[in-house]
Every structure is written in C-alpha cells, then in structure tokens.
Amino acid sequence: MSYWEAARSHPFTYPGAHPDGPFVLVDNEVHGLDRSLTLTDGTSLNDLLHTRSLPAIATRYPVLAYGGNRNPATLRLKMSHYRYAAPGRGTVVPVLPARLRGFDVVAGGLSGQGYLYADLFADEHTAATELDVHVLLLDDDQLRVMHDSEGVRTDLYDVAVLHGVELPGLGQSAALAYVGVAPVVVSPLLNAPLAFEAVRATGRTLPAFGTTAMVAHMIRAVGLSSEIRAIVAPGVIEPMDDMQLATELMRYLNGQWWWHQHTGQRRLLACDRLEKAIRAGLAATSRPSKTRDLVALHEPILTPDNAYQPGGELRFGACLTNLTR
C-alpha cells in the first residue's frame, strides 16, 4: 500500500495513481486481477471473498470512480476514516477498469485538502469524449462509506444511475455515479471548465491541466495572487510565479486540514478566511453544470435514502451483461 499515495495526504498527486488493469484491495495490499477476475496467485476473486465470509461479486454494487476513488490508498484511507464495518473478515474492494462515453472529468470546486476536486461533466462539447474510468464493486457498508465520504447527504454530490459503462472483457454495466450539485469551475480566461489531464480520454475538447497547474491557472484567473501570497508566504520577498504560489497554497490548506483531522481543533482563522475568499472567487467564475439535468433526461437521480439502499436491480449481477459468476 505504501506505493500508492492518497491525495488527502499528498495533494499534488490528485486524483492519484492507480494500477492500469483490474485490481483488488485486500486489507493493506493491492493485488492484480486478470479478466476472469482471478488473482495473480490463481485464486478466484469469489473464492477469496467466500473464504473471508464477504459478499460475492454479483451481490455488490458497481460504483463509478473517475477521480480520487481510483486510487488504492484513498480507498483504504476512506474505509478507515469512515469506519467501515466488514460483514466478514477484513477489507476487500474489487476495482475494474471501464470506459465511459459522453462525459469528461473537470474541476468541481476547492477541496479543503488543497486541490480542485473532480466532478463528472457533460455538455455539447463532451459528446465525443471517451474516458478511462474505473468501477468499484462495493458491499453494503462500503457503499455507505463512499457515500458518506462524497457528501451525499450534505448536497455535495447526487447519485445517478448510468447505463452503458463498458467493462473490457466483461460487457456493459450500469453503475452508480457521483454527480456534483454545485456549479463547476469555469476559467474566465478560457471560457471553459478545466479537465484533469491525469484522467485519460480520447476525443477530449476541454482544456486539460495537471493538478498544480490547474490551481495556478485559477489563482491567476480569479486575481487572488496577492491575497494568497500574504497568507501562505508572509515575509518572502523573492518573486513567486503562479506554480510556486499554487504549491505553497496546496501545502498550507492540506496541512491545516490534517491539523483539524488529527486534533479536532479548528484551523487558523487566516486559513478559514483565505479558503472563503478563494471559494468566492471560484464561485464568481463558475456556472451551473448541465450534467445532472442531462443525465436526468435519460437516467434516474436517486434520493439520498435510495442511494444508501439501492434495490437489488442495481447489484452487479443484475447490472452486468454476461457476468462471469
């Protein structure tokens, strides 16, 4: 697990590295899977789950992962922070690579951990975009953990049901997907949302940025360089370009987030004021995302209660065509 750095503790890595192929998180280890869902030691995934008295593949819920949730260390951290209660022995989370057409992954807003977090985006410009994403196969309490971590009950994300998610070697599946409630960040310099270049895509038309470069671009775009510098680099007289300033800002916000996480005490007042100013600057350039409305034309948007307790028709065995059981 030490190979995979979680963005919550390494903000410059957001949305985080991940294995190229299918994998399974097993407690604190990451194991590769082949297309028949067999571990590299020859153990079938269902046999592993059975020996640990954990729910089988077909009974789990498929959940689309397009940002930080593709990262094994982030998954492990969330299971710990949100107190996952395994129905059997240990933590096992299967993760499958997938393809999704008609969407892109863009900056949704400022995370308190220091980066711009991801949101799923769709409009007329993304019709030909095809994304490399992942699908998590979650048991009931893992689904609760992920919903809690994504703010489903606090109006950060809604949960939609997306059909036509392509799982190479397995077929097509429906999957639950997080769709942001708040407006997405739009660059006034480019008049467009900002895509994450770390999320591989074909047919992408939106401008794409690395994590730090994205923050640097928006610092310049909203005109907050002087205010940010006064807080994160007081007394520094040497010139700082936008990338250096973004780096200092990300370190500052992330450090204050972890201070609160570890101690339960409030962050510095200067941090609260700075984050409020940045959020206000981003909000002034943002615009409502059409994603939720476009999805709702064809797919259901679940109420929070239904998202936490989806029906059996949304379990993997019912969602996937030609499931290998």
pLDDT of 208 > 80? The answer is yes
> Which of 110-128 are b and which e, b meaning 16 or more Cβ less than 10 Å from the residue's Cβ?
bbbbbbbbbbbbbbeebee
Q: Which fold has domain 11-207+287-317?
A: Hypothetical upf0131 protein ytfp (3.10.490)
Task: Report residue 294's pLDDT band, with 50, 70 and 90 as the boundaries.
Answer: confident
**Interval 296-302 mean pLDDT:** 86
What pTM was estimated for this model as a whole? 0.93
Residue 324's pLDDT is: 45
pLDDT for 226 equals: 93
Tokens 């007329």 correspond to what residue?
124
What is the C-alpha separation between 125 and 4, in angstroms, rounded? 33
The token pair that represents 293 in the structure block: 């409305």
Average pLDDT over residues 206-221: 96
pLDDT band at 139 (very low <50, low <70, confident <90, very high): very high
Q: Measured between alpha carbons, how far is 254 from 257 in angstroms, rounded to an integer?
A: 5
Binning pLDDT at 50, 70 and 90, where does residue 297 land?
Answer: confident
CA distances from 298 to 130, 157, 295, 301, 308 (A): 18, 18, 6, 10, 21
**Residue 70 pLDDT greater than 80, yes or no:** yes
**Banded pLDDT at 325 (limits 50, 70, 90):** very low
Mean pLDDT in the chain? Answer: 93
For 233-287, the pLDDT digits (tens) are 998 888 899 999 999 999 999 999 999 989 999 999 999 999 999 999 999 887 7
Q: How large a percentage of the chain has pLDDT more than 90? A: 82
Residue 135 has pLDDT above 80, yes or no: yes
Residue 304 has pLDDT above 60, yes or no: yes
For the segment 63-85, the average pLDDT, to the nearest whole number, is 96
**Torsion-angle region of 231 (φ positive above 0: left; ψ -120 to 50: alpha; else: beta):** alpha
Q: Percent of the chain scored above 70 by pLDDT?
A: 98
Q: What's the pLDDT score for residue 321? A: 64
Domain spans of the chain, in order of start: 11-207+287-317
Whether residue 1 is predicted with pLDDT greater than 80 in this model: the reply is: no
